[in-house]
Structure 1
Amino acid sequence: MSTAATTTTTRPAPSPVRPVGPLALALRQGRLELRQFLRSRESVVFTMLFPVVMILIFASIFRGDLGGGVRFTQYFVTGMIATGLMTVGFQSLAIQIPIERDRGVLKRFMGTPMPRWVYFAGKVIMVAVIGVTETVLLLAVAAGLFDLTLPQTADRWLTLGWVSVLGITACTLCGIAFSSLARSGRSASAVATPIALVLQFISGVFFVFTELPTWMQQVAAIFPLKWMCQGLRSVFLPDSFAAQEPAGSFELGRVALVLAAWCVIGLALCLTTFRWTTRRDG
């Protein structure tokens, strides 16, 4: 009588799933946002390349100087850097988020175990990466083709850094808050784009700020773009040009104060007005 030997195989216990840290979650969402942005040719052209195209056009047409050895290109590049930061921070988010809301992306995100802050972290990372890339590209084009004089001291580079960080932070928060005003993704561009264009015209981007009507200067002083341009002028223009500013100086302390105030205002609006679903969803 033979007995059949039976063998039992033991499967190794599954390895425990390692929890993903907050930083890793944010970076993953940021990579996803960047890939989606780069896949859209329209977004790349109108968000990232618009300031570069504008500097090529204006610098090729206006080759004179504004007095005191300040060339128009040197003045214009400050407005284009500020415009680029506003475009990627405010305008792109004010259009992109309503489209995602309409498509149900935000609603599906709410149904996942992912913390809600991860969605915003991804947007912030996308804006930061594109903003830095756009600024570097703009400076390279202006310096290579139009002899832009780059900042010569560490203090000026530091000013470029904090003005850009405060400015793009304020614009990003305002863009997220503004995204709740559009009734649909289709109408988002019609709501956000005119506001961005008007701010550019009254904030000293295309024209010397002090040559604008006084009432226009006063309206522009309410919003961040004017102060971003003014802070950047202190970086790229000589100290003597400060006398041509409305207050007779670059007022860097006030620039920091106003931009910081808009960061607080933008954050408060985000927390109180942001909607994850469309109005028809309730």
Structure 2
Amino acid sequence: MKSNLHLIAALTLLPALGFAGGGQWTVVAWNNLGMHCMDDDYSVFSILPPFNTINAQVMDAAGHLITDPMAAGITVTYEAAANPDGSINTTSFGKTNFYDYAAVLFGANLNVDQGLAGKSMPGAANTPQTMTWDAGMNWFEAAGIPITPTDDGGQRNPYPLLRVVVKSTGGSVLASTDIVAPVSDEMDCRACHKSGSGAAGMPAAGWVNDANDKRDFRLNILRLHDEKNAGNPLYAPALAAAGFASEGLY
């Protein structure tokens, strides 16, 4: 009897939860990784660029999954949203040196806030950015948004919010939701590769001993790498054969 009462109570709550098909459009959105990592410095080499990818699926007022957005007459965009503490992340300007080295590292001539896959940050004006329809997956996607873990107030926030908005072709908002685009630049190799850390990681030519701690361990890694693999043309095919993307955007 108790279990039946629990079931009745749960069913009673269903209309209040706003499930798809309740007479309103619904958008479900998510970041494709639990945490995307990026480098905190790009002056030596890059392991990971700023590259968050978000996806979204839309259901109409009858609860049907949208499989043809053109026929449905909708567009989906993303923009920055403030969290309850007022932290908002609209732009990557002044938050990373990625753009100083994007051309030499990735062969990409990017303006600040542009991403390697063509999607951008909303910018200081928080201009909505259009998501791209992926017919194979029946979802919208924005690949490679170059978001950083620093908000517009200069405070660290590895959990910035993005607002995903569904609009009709006439411009009416049909649905929206706020999602987290988690990003961290805490990747760190100092334990084994900072100058003086230990004999196992020391290059044969000795430690670099660079005064900049962000560059120091990277230069040591690069020196060690070149001692072992300088001029080796096989590394790129080896990575590809192992399933890594050639752009290094995994």
- Alignment TM-score > 0.5, same fold: no
Larger Rg: 1 or 2?
Answer: 1
What is the TM-score with the length of structure 2 in the denominator?
Answer: 0.24
Structure (1 or 2) with the greater helix fraction: 1
Q: Tell me which of the two structures has the higher relative contact order, counting C-alpha pairs closer than 8 angstroms and 6 or more residues apart.
A: 1
Structure (1 or 2) with the greater strand fraction: 2
